[in-house]
Chains A and B, each alone.
Chain A
Amino acid sequence: AQSVAQPEDQVNVAEGNPLTVKCTYSVSGNPYLFWYVQYPNRGLQFLLKYITGDNLVKGSYGFEAEFNKSQTSFHLKKPSALVSDSALYFCAVRDVRSKSTFGDGTTLTVKP
């Protein structure tokens, strides 16, 4: 069975500092990895994905993620955080049968 772990419930950073939101996964076969963001009482929005190719993936709003096969990780990063980045972030993994498994989410708070 596939699984996703987001080891931090909460991440706090100061505006302008780099941010990292961690994600590790377990899946048989090649992983298809995704990051989504959710603002309060809203649906999830897609940020970026890794399917194949370069290990560094660039996405929306200046976010990027690095796929590390040996560490089975797919950490979300941004060089300079904004207050407006404060939200709930979900990592997800898919298998070829089309089902997605989500982590429990990490709340990112960026303080001015």
Chain B
Amino acid sequence: DGGITQSPKYLFRKEGQNVTLSCEQNLNHDAMYWYRQDPGQGLRLIYYSQIVNDFQKGDIAEGYSVSREKKESFPLTVTSAQKNPTAFYLCASRGWEGGPIAGELFFGEGSRLTVL
């Protein structure tokens, strides 16, 4: 079945370590997104990419990095510069529907990162 796969589901990190969250999609979507979710808050956009080899910062990009070398893959690295990385991270993609509108987001199942 087509969809978005995030791994790992749970991840523990020591302070000062970088970690990389994987996001793979087989929906043939051009646009991909990373969101952070904290309790009681909505989703906040970290980075997004509308095409291979191109990406833009979202609202809370500091302390994070991404790459988009393949259409199917959009990994997120949480660096040691991120001061409060414990959160639930969601990857999403969106298809092109004949114009710059209309497409809903398809989400992965999320990765929960805990800093020890």
B101–A42 CB distance below 8 A: no
What does the 1/0 interface line of B86-116 toward A look like (CB < 8 Å)?
Answer: 0010101010000011101111111010000
| Residues B1-39 near A (CB distance < 8 A) | 4, 6, 31, 33, 35
A4 to B108, CA, bound (A): 23
Chain B residues within 8 Å of A, Cβ to Cβ = 4, 6, 31, 33, 35, 40-43, 45, 48, 50, 58, 88, 90, 92, 94, 100-102, 104-110, 112
B41–A104 CB distance below 8 A: yes
Which of the residues A34, A36, A41, A99 comes within 8 Å of B45, measured between beta carbons?
A99
Contacts of B102 in A (CB 8 A): 32, 49, 51
A99 to B43, CA, bound (A): 12
The stretch from A11-19, A62-70, A76-84, A90-98 touching chain B is A90-98
Q: On chain A, which size bracket covers the interface?
A: 20 to 34
Which of the residues B6, B100, B105 comes within 8 Å of A100, measured between beta carbons?
B105
B42–A32 CB distance below 8 A: no
Q: Give chain B's interface secondary structure class.
A: strand
Q: Across the A-B interface, how many residue pairs have beta carbons closer than 8 Å? A: 62
A102 to B59, CA, bound (A): 12
Contacts of B109 in A (CB 8 A): 42-43
Contacts of B110 in A (CB 8 A): 41-43
| Residues A1-38 near B (CB distance < 8 A) | 4, 9, 32, 34, 36
Asked whether any CB of chain B lies closer than 8 Å to the CB of A56, the reply is no
Q: List 6 A-B contacts (CB under 8 A).
A: A42-B109, A44-B92, A92-B105, A97-B100, A104-B40, A104-B41
A96 to B105, CA, bound (A): 14
Contacts of A44 in B (CB 8 A): 43, 90, 92, 105, 107
Asked whether any CB of chain B lies closer than 8 Å to the CB of A45, the reply is yes
Query: How far does the Cβ of B35 sit from chain A's closest Cβ, in whole Å?
Result: 8
B104–A34 CB distance below 8 A: yes
Contacts of A104 in B (CB 8 A): 40-42
